[in-house]
């Protein structure tokens, strides 16, 4: 789980597969009953990856305890990348166009899916799990004087201290709704073809707030320094296995 370069390769694979998500996600009970051994990838947004050590230090112990609580064995992703590199070496002449140097993304994706399928059989895995911090979109409405943005189970005011409702209504908010970037923690179970089996997310904090004139952005590192919000986000995402409290 510590190799950032390899994690990026897995992220690109997932992005290329994209929309092959299962419409009806598995419940917590279904996951715990049928998925007992998984391979784990730490998989955060590109912009956040330089802060990997902060994310890892906070979330890895919590993730390990969550897996142990539900008796799910997990292995790191090193074997997957060994297989992938072997397959890539065999197809080296076909991976890049000899004239343009352009990468054959379809072949690369095919090799990655083959590697996933191979290690799943070799290690007798039930699924793959990726987790990390992602940049998400929080939505808000200016109607009804509700100045909270909502995303991934949380709400947060999108006005900076000192900015009032009048500032909003007299500014760019002519429309009744909008969006702003936000940070979330997530845990996702996928199969060997990267179809989503189930996913849990928890919002951490907005990455920008409105000051009456414009949105003022925050540094991701500053947001990741908020231990209470990080912990709350984990608990929300962990409902993928813990189930939702009544």
3-state secondary structure of 38: strand
pLDDT value of residue 18: 47
User: Mean pLDDT per segment of 10 residues, for the chain of length 246 residues?
Assistant: 46 46 80 97 88 93 97 96 95 84 89 97 98 95 77 92 55 64 97 96 95 86 93 97 77
Other beta carbons within 10 Å of 10: 23
pLDDT value of residue 164: 54
Asked, for residue 246, whether it belongs to a domain, the answer is: no
Asked, for residue 69, whether it belongs to a domain, the answer is: yes
Asked, for residue 131, whether it belongs to a domain, the answer is: yes
Q: Which domain holds residue 153?
A: 4-241
Q: Which of 181, 182, 199, 183 is nearest to 191 (CA)?
A: 199
Asked, for residue 68, whether it belongs to a domain, the answer is: yes
pLDDT value of residue 4: 45
Q: Write the secondary structure of 138-199 as one string of H (helix), E (strand) and C (coil).
A: EEEECHHHCCEEEECCEEEECECCCCCHHHHHCCCCCCCEEEEEEEEEEEEEECCCCCEEEE
pLDDT value of residue 137: 96
Asked, for residue 174, whether it belongs to a domain, the answer is: yes
pLDDT value of residue 22: 40
pLDDT value of residue 174: 46
pLDDT value of residue 24: 87
Asked, for residue 16, whether it belongs to a domain, the answer is: yes
Asked, for residue 156, whether it belongs to a domain, the answer is: yes
pLDDT value of residue 99: 80
Look at the chain and report how many structural domains it folds into.
1
């Amino acid at each position: 789980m510590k190799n950032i370069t390899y994690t990026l390769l897995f992220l690109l694979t997932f992005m290329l597969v994209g929309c092959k998500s299962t419409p009806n996600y598995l419940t917590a009970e279904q996951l715990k009953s049928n998925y007992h051994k998984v391979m784990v990838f730490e998989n955060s947004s590109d912009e956040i990856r330089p802060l990997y050590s902060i994310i890892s230090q906070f979330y890895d112990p919590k993730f390990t305890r969550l897996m142990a609580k539900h008796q799910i064995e997990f292995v790191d992703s090193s074997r997957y990348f060994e297989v992938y590199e072997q397959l890539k070496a065999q197809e080296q002449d076909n991976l890049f166009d000899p004239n343009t140097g352009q990468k054959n993304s379809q072949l690369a994706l095919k090799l990655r899916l083959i590697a996933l399928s191979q290690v799943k059989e070799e290690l007798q895995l039930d699924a793959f799990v990726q987790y990390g911090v992602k940049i998400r979109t929080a939505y808000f409405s200016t109607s009804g004087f509700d100045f909270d943005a909502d995303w991934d189970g949380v709400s947060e005011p999108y006005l900076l201290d000192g900015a009032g409702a009048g500032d909003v209504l007299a500014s760019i908010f002519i429309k009744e709704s909008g969006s702003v970037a936000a940070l979330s923690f997530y845990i996702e179970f996928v199969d060997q073809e990267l179809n989503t089996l189930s996913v849990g997310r928890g919002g951490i904090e907005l990455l920008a707030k409105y000051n009456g004139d414009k949105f003022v952005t925050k540094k991701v590192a500053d947001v990741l320094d908020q231990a209470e919000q990080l912990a709350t986000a984990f608990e929300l995402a962990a409902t993928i296995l813990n189930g939702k409290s009544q």
